[in-house]
Structure 1
Amino acid sequence: MAAKLEGLIGESVIKKNGDKVLTKSLCGKDRIVGLYFSANWCPPCRGFTPKLADFYTNFKKSEKGENLEIIFVSWDKDVDGFTEYFSSMPWLAIPYSDRDKKAKLTKKYKVGGIPRFVLLDGENGKLITTDGFSQLMEDETGKDFPWRIKPFHEMIKGKLLNGKDELIDSNELIKGKIVGLYFSAHWCPPCRHFTPELIKTYEKLKEEGKSFEVIFISSDRSSESFSQYYSCMPWFAVPFGDNRLQLLTSQYGVDGIPTLVMIDEKGSIITINGRTSILLDRNCSEFPWYPKPLDELTQNAALQLNESVCLVLFTEGEDDEIERAKELLLESATKEHQKGEDQELFFFYGGDDEFCDQVRDFTNLDDQNPLLAILDLPEQQVYVCPEKDITKDIVNNFTENYHNNKLTPRPFKASKTV
């Protein structure tokens, strides 16, 4: 964990007086490391910080006090704001001057807004939750801290509604099946637009004999709107007002709807991007949509490209060139894919799809082929490999140099997403 955390935040963090604390001293068995993304200018942050400070102070007084440390990741607009705000906190911080670390952590944990409280396992560095904020608001004494995700079959245990207002035992229903948790609401226009698409997919998979069920997790504001919306759905639902609604929403970090979380037969997450998968695979040929280590750069990749750092090997698009590109990328792509939640790079090969030209134009890339590049659209920058004869070793070295911060990016002028 020490090496992993050091790679994220550096070899040390600081106390309020400026003294350094070695990152490795925060790691170990039973240790929990919290990353607190916050800012002085943010009213919700200033409202949450005292609650977090009370929890932290009380925890530190307990017999397990040494097992928790929090690190402030500042979103302040200037060093004065950071200094003033940090002075009110009893924990540690990443120095304000280290903006690269702030950007890296923000990107890794997909922090789109603040306050955000991310918890990591201090022994292995694995993510525990990105929603410590909601967890603490609902559990102010920390009875269930550190709020590790519960087994799916435990969370869903209980009765579910079917379309006839009958109650069905959940675990009997989902035993041995792929499950889609559909977080949605009648008041949400994108939800009402996606629901018919999901119905088509559901019915198609049922006709093909697939072991698949969908469970509606409602965010409706009244039982009437819930009933009206659910009446058009052919699957099952957690009853309106049931405690499991908030539990599942929180445990799976759902902060926007519609969201379709795909769960395998053993209760493990397949993908939290089931909605996008369905829209891009209307024939359901890739059901249940396990993430792949390597894919073609087409319009289907736009969402991934806009949200993540992506390595692309552009080609002329001839069949032999595409096969060669797959061969060159597969080893590095598979290695990266096996990192699971720690995956930082997503791999694509570019052929003759028009979308490749759009991406080149958008990022101001040359027309050279083959061309190996790492595209960082969230940061509006690109890393270009200077080599013209691409080999597996070049791909591997380019990837490793990116991870070791040995590459120099160049910005590209862009004001919108692809």
Structure 2
Amino acid sequence: MNEQKLAIVLGGTSPHVLLVNKLKERGYYVLLIDYLENPPAKKVADEHLRESTLDQDKVLEIAKERKADLVISTCIDQANSVCCYVAEKLGLPHPYSYKTSLEVTDKGLMKRIFVENGIPTSNYTTTESVDSIDWNLVQYPAVVKPVDCNSSKGVRRVDSDEETRLRVAEAIEMSRTKTAIIEGFNSGAEIQVDCVSTQSGVKVMMTRQKQKIASDGNDMVLQSYGSVFPAPLSDEFKRQAQEIAEKIANAFKLENTPFFYQAIVTETGIKVLEFAPRIGGGLSYHVLKSFGDYDAVECAIDSFLGKTIVVEPKEQTRFHSTNLLYMRPGVFDSVVGLEELHQKGFVTDCFVMKSKGCKIDSDMRSSNRVAAFIVEGESYEELKQKARKTFASVEIRDIQGNDLLNREIYSNL
């Protein structure tokens, strides 16, 4: 081990399994830091320490003591910030400044920079208490969320002062800095735009449109069960998407790094919700690599190491969709029927994201996704037909053998 370079990976999430493997291929001894006892990436790491990835001083202490050559996280916002903090303290390579990392992990700072740099976004206000809400800046419908949480945690739509007070109190409680943001709600399709800032310009590698979870009108959670690729955008909206990508890279001084932004396509133009100077979690890597010929993890590692990224977008000739499986509260046991559809070729690929015995609660956040599948076709309608049949055929069973697949959320498919 003494002759090997040491890479510290912050966060043992499933997408980091690939990160660990790619670092080992590059000759690194990989030390994983994650407070969980058995995070998914533990099985491939050389070593695992149970510490919080968000405790920057503890991570600094470990990196200094172990003489780390690299501290990296590719798909966790707050962990990326810790990486930049430690790297600046120890003189290690990193993709952007610690200051930038703070600006993109605090949604209030991010929105302010959007406004200052002409990046189209909704009106907003931040508050540290229910009593200090600036009601002059609140217009309904609106969205309330913590300024600094992952996994869409605490994101709620509100339509009245009473709802706003309730959700702001919840968001403040969830926030590490005890701050909530209230922003205007825009109607329209939600898209994600995956980009890379390179020496030859900003490249839009792929677009996707989110598939929204069905709601009875009282469900305040704003969440999706997957995406379709590429997003059905007109030439004008494609032009806007490219222009916005360039403005974001310039505003946050992003050079030689992957990033993505999420936005709403409104009748008057694209409005940006937020962005992150990293690669996406979940199935993002798989889709980008398989259907966009873009290895996002390799690019992320090169970005951290300061190696020049050279990529070009690939023209999409077929349509694809990712579909996420959520279960009702219970203890997960198995997914039944999905692998069979994959073997028959009806499903292009499938993934199980949770281990047997994992407890699932009722929250619709991304960390509660149990499994997922990808279908492809020659039209958006073909994607829908394949997804409907798959959702109807698959079961998610708990340890008592009950089917707990939450089918209601897919009823608008």
Common fold: TM-score over 0.5: no
- Structure whose CA Rg is larger: 1
Structure with more of its chain in strand, by fraction: 2
- TM-score normalised to structure 1 length: 0.28
Normalising by structure 2, report the TM-score.
0.28
